Structure 1
Amino acid sequence: MTKHLLIIRLSAFGDVAMTVPVVSVLKSTHSEIKITLLTTKFFSTLYNQIPGIDFLYFEPKHKTLRGLFNLSRKINKINPDFIIDLHDVLRTKILRLFLINKFSNTVVVNKGRKEKKLLIRGIKSEPIKSMHRRYAETFEALNIKINIDDFSYYKKIKITNHNYAFSSDDKLIGIAPFARHQCKEYSMNNIINFINSLDKSWQILIFGATGNEEQKIIKLCDNNSNRHVISSNYNLEQQMAIMSNLDVMISMDSANGHIASLFGIDVITIWGATHPNSGYGPLNQPKENSIVPDLNKFPDLPVTIYGSNCPSNYVEAINTIKCERILERLNKII
């Protein structure tokens, strides 16, 4: 009988967020199993509404070979019955080598790399399995059935004007305009035009990372009382609380859309060189919420899965999407 599972997912932000529904259903349907998650301390906040799970933190010192070896010793000390690798990258492969004593008790996710290659080469056109379901199916090797449809959305967190410059009584529109790669990011000019077209009575909450992204948001919000910076002024837990109160989140193909979907929020995603057919769309969103470029003009989409190695003639595909298309979808939801 399986008593203790170690689940590994070290990064990236959106990918870790996509494991949350799987871990939540696992815990709610198999409460007898002890769960330890190996991830960063920052990402552990994403699981803050799943009670009774433990964490082993992946730290910067673990990035070297010596660090991974020391981490393997920590894992041996907690002695899990099985290891579930939901990451399967070089770093976790090396870690698994150091844990060779648990080789027969290790299960690795099938990330569908072959199907994804066929998709971007144009050999396959139909949507491939979502990563939510791939993560869930990994546990079947242990005869653990996880039905992702059983996920109960995270609870809404009450916010008040005492702590925030807006309240849940307002019409709250979240916008996450940034992404790691240019081909996944709507231009700032397009973002400005879109925001300017929104109802002035709505509160516009703009999410971004510290540094350059935050500075861009500050400029967007300058002298506009209904625009708000959501960045270093709020920690991740507070940002999640804010997201739980949104009426809609408008996101690139990035983490914020995945996090908002955990609360059952309507998420409109704007896609460029990547595409929702690759299995990375936010949880339980209708097809109509995915705004993609005109396939007659860009017939090879998707040309990249993660945004890297994008062909030059597809880098600006996302910016051919008219603001009116996003506004039309938003108005149907609101």
Structure 2
Amino acid sequence: MKSERCLLVFRFSAMGDVAMSASVIKEFLQQNAGMTVIMVSRHTFKPFFDDINGVKFHSLRSNDKHKGLAGLFYLYKELKKYRPIAIADLHNNLRSNILSFYFKAFHGIRSIKIDKGRTEKKRLTRRDNKINKQLKSTTERYADVFRQLGFSLNLSHKLIRNVATIEGSLKGYVRHNKAVIGISPFAKHREKVYPLNKMENIIAELNQLNYRLLIFGGGTEERIQAAIWEEKFENVTSLIGKTTLDEELQLIGKLDLMLSMDSSGMHMASLMGTPVVSIWGATHPHAGFLGYGQDLKDCIQIDLHCRPCSVFGNKTCYRGDFACMNGIDSGMIVEHIIEKINNGKTSFSDSTR
């Protein structure tokens, strides 16, 4: 590998942020012929980059060989073998800063860090005297890092369907005579989760319309809830704990539509070019985390003076009534989904699945 063609890129977590970085890196490589990106991230997220020409994935194993300062130095020694010309730090945390320091101190290699816009986001989320306006998207903040390194990059902000062939054992999940809808109803923080009883109302209505419904994303508790829905509704199948991340991406790429929270499900769908109807509570698209290429018109939310109360949904509702989610009518969400399915822009024929 020639050193003048190699660029280190850091984005270690979280899942949605790494998925967004993959969309940007794909367009970066399309517009900068001859470049190679060494993507450094958690091994779990490797499938996000498998189909991107020009990416070599290097796993961060922070729980074992890359743990602590000694582990980071070991990671630095692994990465220096690529002889990078620069570092695009899309994370800007302690680990990425230490790695960048090693490359600067020992090799004089330049690093540009993402500007996360913390001051703007504090003004957006503070309780009083909010400045509620659209902030720069996270994907554009990623792109700015490449631009500051001297590269040309113009993001399309368009959904591009992934045309990868789905594996035979998975075809049964998306073979249906009506639309196949993915549902990603969970999130890390409660304030980003639509109340499960209201989500069940949505599932019940979509099931009655004979849509195929696939449930994505979650751990043990979420798997139990999804299994209840699977048992209760004929057209519902839970994929939680049954598929790998790579298999989930294949299936998401064949959906007609995804219904998601402000969570990784939205960003995985965006990476695969699948349209998303998203539900927003404590958080807000104005913070810049709308899925890449998704339409603001497909964000289901209500106007409240307290929204957004946080960037990541990690603050407890100070009102105590969770009005931002409880005030969203489930019937309105169903109507929006039906309209989007029926407008003909999201439908697949069985042959394309």
TM-score bracket for this pair, using the shorter chain length: over 0.9
| Residue type at the aligned position of 1:260 | A
Paired position in structure 1 for 2:112? 107
Paired position in structure 1 for 2:201? 193
Provide the C-alpha distance between the structure 2 equivalents of 1:33 and 1:244, rounded to a whole number of angstroms: 27
* SS of equivalent residue, structure 1 residue 78: coil
What do the CA deviations read for 1:69-109 (whole angstroms, capped 9, x no partner)?
A: 21122222322110110000122223223333356511111
User: Alpha carbons of 1:244 and 1:106: their partners in 2 closer, same or farther (altered >3 Å)?
Assistant: same
Of 302, 307, 320, 1:301 maps to 307
Whether 1:119 and 2:141 are equivalent positions in the alignment is no
Question: Unpaired segments of 5 or more residues in structure 2?
Answer: 342-353
Paired position in structure 2 for 1:50? 52
Q: With structure 2 as the length reference, what TM-score do the two structures score?
A: 0.88
Alpha-carbon contact 2:92-2:114 (below 8 Å) kept: yes
Provide the C-alpha distance between the structure 1 equivalents of 2:339 and 2:25, rounded to a whole number of angstroms: 32
Whether 1:146 and 2:153 are equivalent positions in the alignment is yes
Whether 1:98 and 2:106 are equivalent positions in the alignment is no
Paired position in structure 2 for 1:29? 31
Paired position in structure 1 for 2:325? 318
Of 15, 19, 43, 1:41 maps to 43
Provide the C-alpha distance between the structure 2 equivalents of 1:123 and 1:2, rounded to a whole number of angstroms: 46
Matches within 5 A, 1:60-139: 60-61=63-64, 62-99=66-103, 100-102=105-107, 105-121=110-126, 122-139=129-146
Whether 1:247 and 2:246 are equivalent positions in the alignment is no
Alpha-carbon contact 2:282-2:307 (below 8 Å) kept: yes
Paired position in structure 2 for 1:263? 272
User: Alpha carbons of 1:137 and 1:144: their partners in 2 closer, same or farther (altered >3 Å)?
Assistant: same
Alpha-carbon contact 1:25-1:150 (below 8 Å) kept: no
Provide the C-alpha distance between the structure 1 equivalents of 2:8 and 2:287, rounded to a whole number of angstroms: 27
Paired position in structure 1 for 2:294? 285
Residue 117 of structure 1 deviates from its aligned partner by 1.1
What do the CA deviations read for 1:247-289 (whole angstroms, capped 9, x no partner)?
A: 1100000011111122322201101110001000012222221
What do the CA deviations read for 1:29-84 (whole angstroms, capped 9, x no partner)?
A: 21211210001121111112212311211002223222112112222232211011
Alpha-carbon contact 1:253-1:281 (below 8 Å) kept: yes
User: Alpha carbons of 1:161 and 1:57: their partners in 2 closer, same or farther (altered >3 Å)?
Assistant: closer
* SS of equivalent residue, structure 1 residue 312: coil
* SS of equivalent residue, structure 1 residue 83: strand
Provide the C-alpha distance between the structure 1 equivalents of 2:170 and 2:269, rounded to a whole number of angstroms: 20
Paired position in structure 2 for 1:214? 223
* SS of equivalent residue, structure 1 residue 173: strand
Paired position in structure 1 for 2:344? none
Alpha-carbon contact 2:125-2:309 (below 8 Å) kept: yes
Provide the C-alpha distance between the structure 2 equivalents of 1:292 and 1:92, rounded to a whole number of angstroms: 35
Residue 315 of structure 1 deviates from its aligned partner by 6.9
* SS of equivalent residue, structure 2 residue 258: strand
Of 177, 181, 187, 1:179 maps to 187
Provide the C-alpha distance between the structure 1 equivalents of 2:202 and 2:158, rounded to a whole number of angstroms: 33
* SS of equivalent residue, structure 2 residue 213: strand
Question: Unpaired segments of 5 or more residues in structure 1?
Answer: none
Provide the C-alpha distance between the structure 2 equivalents of 1:71 and 1:263, rounded to a whole number of angstroms: 30
| Residue type at the aligned position of 1:25 | E
Provide the C-alpha distance between the structure 2 equivalents of 1:53 and 1:315, rounded to a whole number of angstroms: 46
Residue 175 of structure 1 deviates from its aligned partner by 0.6
CA RMSD of aligned residues (A): 2.0
Residue 168 of structure 1 deviates from its aligned partner by 4.2
Identity percentage of aligned residues: 30
Residue 145 of structure 1 deviates from its aligned partner by 1.5
Q: With structure 1 as the length reference, what TM-score do the two structures score?
A: 0.93
* SS of equivalent residue, structure 1 residue 313: coil
* SS of equivalent residue, structure 1 residue 166: helix
* SS of equivalent residue, structure 2 residue 53: coil
| Mean Cα deviation higher: 163-172 or 248-257 | 163-172
| Residue type at the aligned position of 2:40 | L
Residue 129 of structure 1 deviates from its aligned partner by 0.6
Alpha-carbon contact 2:86-2:111 (below 8 Å) kept: yes
| Residue type at the aligned position of 2:41 | T
Provide the C-alpha distance between the structure 1 equivalents of 2:175 and 2:298, rounded to a whole number of angstroms: 23
User: Alpha carbons of 1:304 and 1:238: their partners in 2 closer, same or farther (altered >3 Å)?
Assistant: same
Residue 17 of structure 1 deviates from its aligned partner by 0.6
Provide the C-alpha distance between the structure 2 equivalents of 1:79 and 1:197, rounded to a whole number of angstroms: 56
| Residue type at the aligned position of 1:265 | T
